[in-house]
């Protein structure tokens, strides 16, 4: 959404600001720095390949279970928002294809990029993950099995999963979420290296 149109939405409907009304202090507050990721090489001392693969996915999980990812992988029909993972305000729902209900699609407020003056995040295909990929409330082992299940993950094999998490712009947004939001840990390059190392060691999952 272009800025003039977004301003019109904000001013005319009051809709998009309903969940983002901020005090002056909140507006200027900076998010805490993101946590680091242990490099893929740090698992090389684990002799057993399966144990090494499980350890790698444990590190991957610090990204997958971070609010930047979990907010868009909810167990309910409503997304969550902010580092506290509160229910999205104003009230919105998944809709038929993850882009919101008719008349209140994600693109009503979320543009193709972050709109920092109003602290509204954005990306070219802002949407919820499919319900089949809901991670909220699941253990890391369950998320791992779900991620590998082509019946639930969009028919992606392991190579396609690595490509998805290193090239999809909405995934990349997690490391550039705009002011006031903690980025996902480390960098996408480090995350991609961990994912590839996990695949190369057999893509083993932690116990559920």
User: Does residue 208 form part of some domain?
Assistant: no
Rounded to 5°, angle at Cα 78 from 169 and 208: 80
Contact between 99 and 86 (Cβ < 8 Å):
no
Query: Would residue 52 count as lying in a domain?
Result: yes
- The percent of residues above 90 in pLDDT, for the chain, comes to 80
Q: What is the CA radius of gyration of the chain?
A: 18
Question: What does the pLDDT read at residue 35?
Answer: 84
In this structure, is residue 121 part of a structural domain?
yes
Cα separation, 112 vs 48, whole angstroms? 45
Task: State the residue range of the domain holding 185.
Answer: 3-200
The structural domain count of the chain equals: 1
180 in any annotated domain: yes
What whole-number distance in Å separates Cα of residue 104 and Cα of residue 95? Answer: 9
Give the model confidence (pLDDT) of 60-101 as tens digits.
Answer: 999 999 999 999 999 999 999 999 999 999 999 999 889 999
- Residue-wise pLDDT for 130-159, tens only, equals 999 999 999 999 999 999 999 999 999 999
Residue 143 belongs to some domain of the structure:
yes
Does residue 207 sit within a domain? no
Tell me the two tokens of residue 73. Answer: 């992988």
Asked whether residue 206 is domain-assigned, the answer is no
């Amino acid at each position: 959404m272009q800025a003039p149109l977004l301003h019109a939405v904000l001013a005319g409907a009051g809709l998009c600001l309903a969940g983002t009304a901020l005090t002056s202090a909140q507006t200027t507050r900076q998010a805490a720095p993101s946590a680091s990721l242990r490099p893929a090489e740090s698992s090389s001392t684990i002799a057993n390949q399966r144990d090494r693969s499980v350890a790698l996915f444990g590190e991957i999980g610090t990204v997958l279970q971070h609010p930047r990812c979990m907010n868009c992988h909810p167990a309910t029909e409503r997304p969550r928002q902010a580092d506290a993972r509160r229910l999205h305000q104003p009230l919105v729902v998944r809709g038929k294809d993850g882009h919101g209900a008719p008349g209140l699609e994600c693109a009503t407020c979320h543009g193709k990029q972050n709109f920092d003056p109003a602290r509204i995040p954005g990306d070219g295909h802002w949407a919820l993950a499919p319900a089949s990929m809901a991670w909220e409330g699941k253990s890391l082992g369950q998320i791992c099995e779900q991620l590998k299940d082509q019946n639930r993950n969009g028919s992606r094999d392991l190579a396609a999963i690595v490509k998805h998490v290193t090239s999809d712009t909405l995934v990349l947004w997690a490391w550039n979420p705009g002011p006031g939001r903690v980025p996902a840990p480390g960098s996408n390059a480090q995350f991609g290296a961990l994912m590839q190392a996990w695949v190369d060691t057999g893509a083993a999952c932690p116990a559920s």
